[in-house]
Amino acid sequence: MDRSQAEKKIKELSVEIEKHNHNYYVNDAPTISDFEFDKLLEELIALEKQFPEFLSSTSPSQRVGGAITKTFKTVKHNYPMLSLSNSYSTEDLIDFDRKVQEGLGLQQNDLFASSTVKYVCELKFDGLSIGLNYVNGELTQAITRGDGVQGDDVTTNAKTIRSIPLKLKGNYPSSFEIRGEIFLPRHVFDQINKEREEIGEPPLANPRNAASGTMKMQDSAVVAGRKLDCFVYYMLGEEVPFKSHFENLNAAKSWGFKTSEHSKLLDNINEVLEYIEYWDKERFKLPFDIDGIVIKVNDYKQQLQLGFTAKSPRWAIAYKFKAEQVSTELLDITYQVGRTGAITPVANLKPVALGGTMVKRASLHNADIIEKLDVRIGDFVFVEKGGEIIPKIIGVDLTKRKPNTEPTKYITHCPECETLLRRDEDEANHFCPNDMGCPPQVKGRMEHFVSRKAMNIDSLGGETIGQLYDAGLVKNIADLYDLKKEQLLPLERMAEKSANNLIEGLEASKNVPFERVLYAIGIRHVGETTAKKIAKKVKSLDVLIGLTKEQLLETDEVGGVIAESISDFFANEQNKTIISRLKNAGLKFELSEEQQQAGSDKLNGLTFVISGVFNKHSRDQLKEMIEFNGGKNSGSISGKTSFLLAGDNMGPEKLKKAEKLGVKIISEDDFEAMLAK
């Protein structure tokens, strides 16, 4: 393909891919399969690699992430990012309406009259606010709220959010800002917490914290994997097309933004109250969290007339839902032991309806909270469902306390294995130190070991692990590789075929690459990404075991907590035995030869141009080798080119240019020698 064909194809693919992104993430109506989509994207990425001069900053390939933001630049907002004043009751809202009418010099109408002030009611999305700047239809900058005057430039991360258009369609102003809310859908949040639990990280408190934490991550590839979403709700600029908020929201939708279908233009405050009443009940059915309703005067002339206070507009107000609270009887307190041994006290309640579900259990967090609240079995307790997913106990109804109740005595021994519990300084939770013998800890570790992103042994699920453990066949992850088919057959629901599958699954797992084995062995705080980075750096487990804490800290992503955790893990005798048994079983404890050769920083700071046909490697392989070793590929020769890697039949133009600019010309053999050094 020549340059002009490539340029055309890149443009066509970009438009097509963005159309599919929009169908999927904005319209919720995909028209092609994920597989077909991935193919298109791969094609685009390959072409852009080959012809980097045509890679645009708004290409859909930017959504995959990969660029790292070391520090987020602080930038000033073009318009200050104000907040809204809050209201909590019908009275507050009627008062707001009265002030609006007065401010506009209108006679206050009775509640049901069609007044001349129209309100737009919107959901108040619970995430982090973002200002998106567009120039000539292209996303140029995404800024977080910060202190309202200046915020962080998070453009690279924002580009990974597929519902944020990178290029607009239709008749948009040449320059404007649109504000919106970035949030995590609840099912994604649940998934993240499941994964955190698997690696022994404490769960994130709520989707809002998770979303803002994600936007501050340095590695945009991780952000891309988090599936954030974004609704827009406020347009700013000199040339916004319409004179009212609602019309501009609709215009934004037509340019490709995601606006909420639940925003409504309403005639009077009574309709606003009805809207609020409806969503107070229905909000739990939404796939994302909202914490209230936003009410805005629709007409811009009226907005202007009402103006702003120092902190917020007088033409808008937020109505905050009350966190729903109920009172019910505390029947019992039980204690759960997690995969990492952390103990969580759980309140077992007389079932009660709350936030759209029946609640039977609530978290009591830890010993301090039980003591502070003085919760006792038999008490009537207040239960609340706020932003958090698990309801919590927020207090005791002392007026209903029965005589002769006893203060709760926190357990001293593990409810599963009776080991004396420990509580470290600065830690809120007690934990069971018997990590090698406490059943939920052992089973949990095995479940993590076989999970999809670890050893991916899908013929071995949580239930079978439970059976194997209870039958005394496995006590740790190394025992799995000693299992024989004959031992499996007597187990309940274990037919010949499942037994074969299980053994085959274990066998196949011996080919799982080192970085996933490192993740699978379950070192606390070592998640998937950390394991990958460490594996790339150390290349083998033996090297990792030999590293000091200081040396570990030199790896990206390894902070003090992780370094500590790694050294504790390998200092433990039982872990040492398990690792050596896994090694004997044939698991991969070093990078493959291919991976080893690939990864280095030998070519750091060097830019290569590849031209011609080669004998030993394909051009793509050579490009990969360059990148894996820290170098950069470029499609055209310039003053910045370090080497021209020349094969047979190289174009004479390139050669001439290289010679003119004094760029060194090397052969495939020279290149190999460079890497072998």
**Between 294 and 587, CB nearer to ligand IVH:** 294
Measured between alpha carbons, how far is 518 from 528 in angstroms, rounded to an integer? Answer: 9
**Between 317 and 544, CB nearer to ligand IVH:** 317
Q: Is 233 in the site for ligand IVH (CB under 6 A)?
A: yes
Binding track, positions 567-596, relative to ligand IVH; x by CB under 6 A = ------------------------------
CB of 292 to ligand IVH, least distance (A): 8
Q: Is 84 in the site for ligand IVH (CB under 6 A)?
A: yes
Name the burial class of residue 272, with classes exposed (0-12), middle (13-18) and buried (19+) by CB atoms within 10 angstroms of its CB.
Answer: buried
Out of 125, 431, 628, 671, name the contact with ligand IVH by CB under 6 A. 125
Q: Is 129 in the site for ligand IVH (CB under 6 A)?
A: yes
Q: Is 97 in the site for ligand IVH (CB under 6 A)?
A: no
Each residue of 212-226: b (16+ CB within 10 Å) or e?
A: bebbebbbbebbbbb
Binding track, positions 337-376, relative to ligand IVH; x by CB under 6 A = ----------------------------------------
How far, in Å, are 345, 368, 408 from residue 372 at the CA level?
A: 14, 6, 11
Q: Is 313 in the site for ligand IVH (CB under 6 A)?
A: yes
CB of 207 to ligand IVH, least distance (A): 13
CB of 183 to ligand IVH, least distance (A): 9
Q: Is 335 in the site for ligand IVH (CB under 6 A)?
A: no
> Cβ distance 224 to 113 under 8 Å?
no
Sign of CA dihedral 22, 24, 28, 32: positive
Out of 172, 176, 189, 234, name the contact with ligand IVH by CB under 6 A. 234
Which stretch, 276-284, 311-319, 544-552, 653-661, contacts ligand IVH (CB under 6 A)?
311-319
**Between 127 and 200, CB nearer to ligand IVH:** 127
Q: Is 316 in the site for ligand IVH (CB under 6 A)?
A: yes
CB of 468 to ligand IVH, least distance (A): 49
Catalytic residue among 9, 73, 124, 285: 124
Out of 44, 215, 252, 294, name the contact with ligand IVH by CB under 6 A. 294
CB of 97 to ligand IVH, least distance (A): 18
**Between 143 and 316, CB nearer to ligand IVH:** 316
Name the residue among 360, 341, 363 with its Cα closest to residue 351.
360
What is the number of alpha carbons within 13 Å of residue 501 lying toward its C-beta? Answer: 12
Q: Is 122 in the site for ligand IVH (CB under 6 A)?
A: yes
Measured between alpha carbons, how far is 8 from 335 in angstroms, rounded to an integer? Answer: 63
Provide the β-strand partners of residue 413: 420
**Between 66 and 307, CB nearer to ligand IVH:** 307
Q: What is the DSSP string of 212-279?
A: HHHHT-SBHHHHHHT--EEEEEEEESTT-S-SBHHHHHHHHHHHT----TT-EEESSHHHHHHHHHHH
Binding track, positions 480-509, relative to ligand IVH; x by CB under 6 A = ------------------------------
How far, in Å, are 29, 539, 599 from residue 20 at the CA level?
A: 9, 39, 35
Name the residue among 241, 73, 92 with its Cα closest to residue 157.
73
Q: Which residue is nearest to ligand IVH (CB)?
A: 129
Q: Is 289 in the site for ligand IVH (CB under 6 A)?
A: no
Measured between alpha carbons, how far is 429 from 363 in angstroms, rounded to an integer? Answer: 13
Q: Is 217 in the site for ligand IVH (CB under 6 A)?
A: no
How long a stretch of residues is the chain? 677
Name the residue among 501, 541, 504, 500 with its Cα closest to residue 520.
541
CB of 184 to ligand IVH, least distance (A): 14
Q: Is 206 in the site for ligand IVH (CB under 6 A)?
A: no
How far, in Å, are 41, 144, 446, 457, 466 from residue 154 at the CA level?
A: 23, 7, 38, 38, 45
Restricted to residues 144-183, the positions that interact with ligand IVH (CB under 6 A) are: 181
**Between 260 and 408, CB nearer to ligand IVH:** 260
**Between 118 and 516, CB nearer to ligand IVH:** 118
H or E segment and range at residue 570: helix 560-571
Q: Is 131 in the site for ligand IVH (CB under 6 A)?
A: no
Out of 22, 63, 77, 124, name the contact with ligand IVH by CB under 6 A. 124
Q: What are phi and psi of 625, to 5 degrees?
A: -60, -40
Q: What is the DSSP string of 39-99?
A: HHHHHHHHHHHH-GGG--TT-GGGGG---B-SSPPEEE-SS------EE-SHHHHHHHHHH
Out of 318, 477, 535, 541, name the contact with ligand IVH by CB under 6 A. 318
Q: Check residue 493 and give left, alpha or beta (phi > 0: left; psi -120 to 50: alpha).
A: left
Out of 5, 27, 74, 83, name the contact with ligand IVH by CB under 6 A. 83
Amino acid residing at 426: D
Measured between alpha carbons, how far is 45 from 627 in angstroms, rounded to an integer? Answer: 14
H or E segment and range at residue 171: none
CB of 23 to ligand IVH, least distance (A): 24
**Between 291 and 379, CB nearer to ligand IVH:** 291
How far, in Å, are 66, 81, 568 from residue 435 at the CA level?
A: 37, 49, 13
What lies within 8 Å, CB to CB, of 211 at 6+ separation is 127, 128, 182, 183, 184, 228
**Between 272 and 552, CB nearer to ligand IVH:** 272
Active site residue 475: no
Q: Count of residues binding ligand IVH (CB under 6 A)?
A: 14
Name the residue among 149, 174, 165, 183 with its Cα closest to residue 74.
149
CB of 495 to ligand IVH, least distance (A): 54
**Between 32 and 236, CB nearer to ligand IVH:** 236
**Between 125 and 569, CB nearer to ligand IVH:** 125
Residues at the contact surface with ligand IVH, assessed by CB under 6 A: 82-84, 122, 124-125, 129, 181, 233-234, 294, 313, 316, 318
* Residues belonging to the active site: 124
